Structure 1
Amino acid sequence: MLSRLIRALPRDWLVWMYKAVPFQGLKDFAVRRTQVKFMVSVLGVITDSTGRVMLLKHTYREQPWGIPGGWMEEEKPEEGMAREIWEETGLSVERLRLAKAIYGQKPARVDLIFRGELDEEPGERVFQSCSEISEMLLCRPGEWPEGLPEDQKKLITELLREER
């Protein structure tokens, strides 16, 4: 109710009120209560030293294969991506860089898509499953497993093509 009321006010009034309120805590509270809320996810197109793409088999999806990712916590996006990969696989990554941001719905969210590389040598890599992830696959682009959603195939292909 408060958020609808405040959004109905002219923007100039809101700016004036924000400037006039002397307490930062009250300003922060008003901003949190009145702004549209959405979630932020981190997703990664992660490759090994030979260019194979990391895909994970999710235990809870109808189309089980997908790129690693999850919801951000109160952390830097790169740290969130590295944390998700570590939690889901026991592996670490390097050279994470933001490649793309996409607005999504259901739920309202911003997907931050990262590119990165596995930092272990192939002989040293040890995947560890968890309650969310049962398997990991490193596959050549275009040699996708059954159960990888079309939108993820397109996203992976697009990001890898842009790098060339």
Structure 2
Amino acid sequence: MISKLVGLVPRDWLVYMYKHMPFNGLKNWLVYRAQNKFLVAVLGIFTNEAGQILLLKHVYRKEPWGIPGGWMELEKPELALERELKEETGLSVKSIELVKAIYGTKPNRVDLIFRGRVIEGDFKKSSEISEIMYCTMDDWPDGLPMEQRKLIKEFGSVAP
């Protein structure tokens, strides 16, 4: 509602009001309320020592196999991905580099794609992940979405 009202105010006026408004807390509250919202997802292409790609079997998806990922909380993106993987599988990973950001819809979101290495740990089943597998390029299991195959091909073979 506030974002629609703010949209009616000329931008020059908004800048002037923001610059001269004395209450930072109120100013920040208004700016936050006036902006559109979206989620941030973190996804990772992780390899083991042999260079194989880690895939997870998600219990709630129509195409169950996929790269690790999850929603960010109020944390650094790399730490969010490392946390998600530890919670869902028991594996420890190290996110090495951000390789791509993608805007998506349904829901509106930004997907941050990282690559990195599996460091250690033994797989533990969770309510979200029923099994894991390591595979080589193009040796995919049935049920791996085409979009993720493309991401793996683009960034998986040159993982640091």
| TM, length-normalised to structure 1 | 0.93
Q: Do residues 69 (structure 1) and 41 (structure 2) align?
A: no
Q: How many aligned residue pairs are there? A: 160
Q: What residue is the counterpart of 1:31 in the other structure? A: 31
Single out whichever of 93-102 and 65-74 deviates more from structure 2. 93-102
Gaps in structure 1 of 5+ consecutive residues? none
Report 1:90-129 matches (<5 A).
90-120=90-120, 125-129=121-125
Report 1:4-83 matches (<5 A).
4-83=4-83
Question: What is the CA distance between 1:20 and its match in structure 2?
Answer: 1.2
Question: What is the CA distance between 1:160 and its match in structure 2?
Answer: 2.6
CA distance in 2, matches of 1:41, 1:139: 23
Which portions of structure 1, spanning 4 or more consecutive aligned residues, are displaced by more than 6 angstroms? none
Q: 2:129 aligns with which of 127, 133, 136?
A: 133
Structure with the bigger percentage of helix? 1
1:119 counterpart SS class: strand
Q: Structure 1, residues 69-90: CA drift from partner, whole Å, max 9, x if none?
A: 0100000001101001111111
| TM, length-normalised to structure 2 | 0.95
Q: What residue is the counterpart of 1:148 in the other structure? A: 144
Gaps in structure 2 of 5+ consecutive residues? none
Question: What is the CA distance between 1:96 and its match in structure 2?
Answer: 2.5
CA RMSD of aligned residues (A): 1.4
